[in-house]
Amino acid sequence: MIILWTDALIYLLLTTAMVSGFFLRNYEGLKRPLNKIATNKSAMVSMIILVFFIAIGLLDSLHFKAEGQRASGVISVLDYCTQPLWQQTEKTYSAPFSAYLYSKAYITQADGYQSWGFPRLKFGGSHLLNPETEKTADVLIKLIVGLSKGFIFCLSWVGLRALYVAKKAGQSRLHVRPGFVGTTIIVVVVGLSGIIELSTYYHILGTDKVGEDVFYQTIKSIRTGLVIGSLTTFIMLPLAVVFGILAGFYRGWVDDLIQYCYTTLNSIPSVLLIAASILMVQIYMVNHPELFTNLESRADLRLLFLCLILGVTSWTGLCRMLRAETLKLREMGYVQAAKVLGVRPIGILFQHILPNVMHIILISVVLDFSALVLAEAVLSYINVGVDPSTYSWGNMINGARLEMAREPVVWWPLIAAFVFMFILVLTANLFADAVRDAFDPRRNQHD
């Protein structure tokens, strides 16, 4: 078992969320909003997809030593589960579902005769004798097999559960009627099962320049995206909220000081700051080789540092917004009334100001989350992003620069990264929208 820094922080975040959930489970004021979210269909679909993403990210955050595997000798639970995906590497590019390489080469045939053409892949579709004629039917069959496997799995699970419920209630008849959420879960599970079945025979999203499976890269990038999004937010949020609200509420010299800080920070180009600190980390790692025994921990430290520096440079926008909103709120009747009622400033901040700026925080956190995933791509472009050995959508998009200029075009890494990023950002947005609406009492008027 090896615990990387980001692993520890991710699980710390998860534990914090679960503990606070446990303590808040009986809180009266939460019931109505939670019910409201539960009845919102798009929110629930988004949540289920998000949960799948997060589960993959969490699996990918449990690392252990596996001698002989990989250059670093460190693999994650996700790697363990998907071994065939990353062990079956081809020579170079191949298109999705293809049985041939994407570029021509000399093929040595059985009789020793050499010809110039597209060689067969070592793994993708290698079970086919004649790909031209068999492939389409085979893909369909494999897909159906995969889907039915998933369906049978779900059916047995639903059936078992219904049996259990029926037994508990002492009924003889089964009531199998999965609700909306159940249906969505079944659809996602069945779909995943189909994908898993297919991906054991084919490179469903093709391979990249060194022949690595793009589907595997995309899945691995989920963790990087989540880490950058969540850890950066985790660093940026307290800074923005505390400083923004304090500046707006107390005004005077507190306001001057905080404003001075963020104007100064804003006027330094953030790319320069990020590049400088990433270089610093690199030099530190070179000078202390004894602390970094494997590649994974180096890449991990760089990722952590990237989150840190992104967090430090990105709190100013939200801070400014919160300051302006607090300036407005502090003149509201209820804040004045609270003062007259002798409520202490700390009480006013927590009771009156914070709940009323929560919608701004939520919206900008989700927007920032998407922006951060994208920022990672931009930073990879100038080589100050995550370590080149770290799988990330940013690195994939960065690589696509050359692939798009190639003839014929290699389009699949870019599309794969784009689609996954799109799904993550879209579901996060939809879910956050629903959360914001649910916690706004003014929107519950027609319940």
The residues of the shown chain that bind other proteins, judged by CB under 8 A, are: 29, 332-334, 336-344, 347, 351-352, 355-356, 441-442, 444-446
Please say whether the beta carbons of 223 and 57 come within 8 A.
Answer: yes
State the residue for tokens 């269909």. 41
In angstroms, give the least distance from the CB of 446 to other proteins. 5
Neighbours of 162 (CB within 10 A): 17
| Structural tokens at position 100 | 């041939």
In angstroms, give the least distance from the CB of 353 to other proteins. 10
In angstroms, give the least distance from the CB of 255 to other proteins. 13
Query: Measured from the CB atom, is 159 or 441 closer to other proteins?
Result: 441
Q: What share of the chain is helix, strand, coil (3-state, %, to 5)?
A: 70, 5, 25
Query: What is the distance, to the nearest Å, from the Cα of residue 219 to the centroid of all Cα atoms in its chain?
Result: 9
Query: Measured from the CB atom, is 338 or 425 closer to other proteins?
Result: 338
Count of residues in the chain: 447
First to last CA, the chain: 51
Query: Measured from the CB atom, is 191 or 441 closer to other proteins?
Result: 441
Query: Measured from the CB atom, is 31 or 401 closer to other proteins?
Result: 31
In angstroms, give the least distance from the CB of 331 to other proteins. 9
Please say whether the beta carbons of 228 and 310 come within 8 A.
Answer: yes
Query: Measured from the CB atom, is 192 or 354 closer to other proteins?
Result: 354
Closest to 70 measured CA to CA, from 388, 413, 389: 389
Query: Measured from the CB atom, is 264 or 444 closer to other proteins?
Result: 444
Query: Measured from the CB atom, is 261 or 354 closer to other proteins?
Result: 354
State the residue for tokens 């093709």. 206
Query: Measured from the CB atom, is 188 or 343 closer to other proteins?
Result: 343
DSSP state of 344: -
State the residue for tokens 């190639």. 406
In angstroms, give the least distance from the CB of 321 to other proteins. 18
In angstroms, give the least distance from the CB of 342 to other proteins. 4
Query: Measured from the CB atom, is 27 or 113 closer to other proteins?
Result: 27
Query: Measured from the CB atom, is 223 or 323 closer to other proteins?
Result: 323
Query: Measured from the CB atom, is 288 or 446 closer to other proteins?
Result: 446
How far apart CA 87 and CA 166 sit, in angstroms, is 46
Q: Which amino acid is at 181?
A: V
Per-residue b/e over 391-403, b at no fewer than 16 CB within 10 Å? bbbbbbbbbbeeb
Burial class (CB in 10 A: 0-12, 13-18, 19+), 408: exposed
Give the C-alpha distances (Å, rounded to integers) separating 392 from 61, 217, 303, 446: 14, 8, 11, 44
How far apart CA 445 and CA 447 sit, in angstroms, is 6
Please say whether the beta carbons of 366 and 429 come within 8 A.
Answer: yes
In angstroms, give the least distance from the CB of 257 to other proteins. 16
In angstroms, give the least distance from the CB of 403 to other proteins. 48
Query: Measured from the CB atom, is 1 or 341 closer to other proteins?
Result: 341
In angstroms, give the least distance from the CB of 237 to other proteins. 19
Largest separation between any pair of C-alpha atoms in the chain: 97
Neighbours of 201 (CB within 10 A): 20
In angstroms, give the least distance from the CB of 358 to other proteins. 8
What does the DSSP assignment read for 28-61? Answer: HHHHHHHHHHHH-HHHHHHHHHHHHHHHHHHHTT
In angstroms, give the least distance from the CB of 31 to other proteins. 12
In angstroms, give the least distance from the CB of 356 to other proteins. 6
How far apart CA 274 and CA 280 sit, in angstroms, is 10
State the residue for tokens 């937010």. 233
